[in-house]
Amino acid sequence: MDMRELLIDKVVINMGVGTSGERLQKAIQLLENLTNQKPATTYAEKTIKNFGIRKGEAIGAKVTLRGEKAEEFLKNALSVVEYRLRRRQINPGNFSFGIHEHIDLPGVDYDPDVGIYGMDVNVSLRRRGYRVKRRRVARSKIGKNHVITKEETIEFLKKLGVEVE
């Protein structure tokens, strides 16, 4: 067991629908079918008149996947973007990309009742020992040489077979 090895901490799938009501309910149902987990609803932080959004209105849904579920979903999601990411989509310790149409995911068929939804996929990486930073009792800082850099994130992606442009 190598303490410096990079691991997938979590994969967060976010669907910003922009409106509450039936369209949001369909998005929540779709996320639940894709991940076999109950999505959390996200709410507007402020009112934007031009978009017809009020503060506190339900406008999206998200799901956090960990462990094997996260790895499985990530492989399918990366196949949609053809295992290619741009450098600006990568940050130290995490990377993000979007999927324009959920029907591009392997094994997902088009359902006219549901429609087509896009989603954002955000992946956080970690090393063993990162719990030290997040735990409640005896919380501590992580040493400089244990923090994940952007270059290490890119190396991790290359091991997954992702081409970084």
Quick check: is 33 in a domain?
yes
Return the pLDDT at 99.
94
Give the count of domains, the chain.
1
Cα–chain center distance at 87: 17
At 87, the pLDDT band (50, 70, 90 cuts) reads very high
Q: By residue range, what is the domain housing residue 142?
A: 6-164
Return the pLDDT at 108.
87
Angle formed by the axes of helices 22-35 and 67-80, nearest 10°: 110
pLDDT digits (tens, 9 = 90+) for 124-148: 999 999 999 999 999 999 999 999 9
pLDDT digits (tens, 9 = 90+) for 29-44: 999 999 999 999 999 9
Residues whose CB is less than 8 angstroms from the CB of residue 32 and which lie 6 or more positions away in sequence, other chains included: 38, 39
Q: 49: domain CATH number? A: 3.30.1440.10
Rounded to whole angstroms, how far apart are CA atoms 51 and 42? 16
Quick check: is 60 in a domain?
yes
- Secondary element (H or E) of residue 13: strand 6-16
Residue (of 94, 23, 11, 33) closest to 60 by Cα position: 23
Residue (of 86, 70, 69, 75) closest to 124 by Cα position: 70
C-alpha separations of 21 from 26, 34, 60, 116 in Å: 9, 20, 11, 16
pTM of the predicted protein model: 0.90
Quick check: is 67 in a domain?
yes
Quick check: is 47 in a domain?
yes
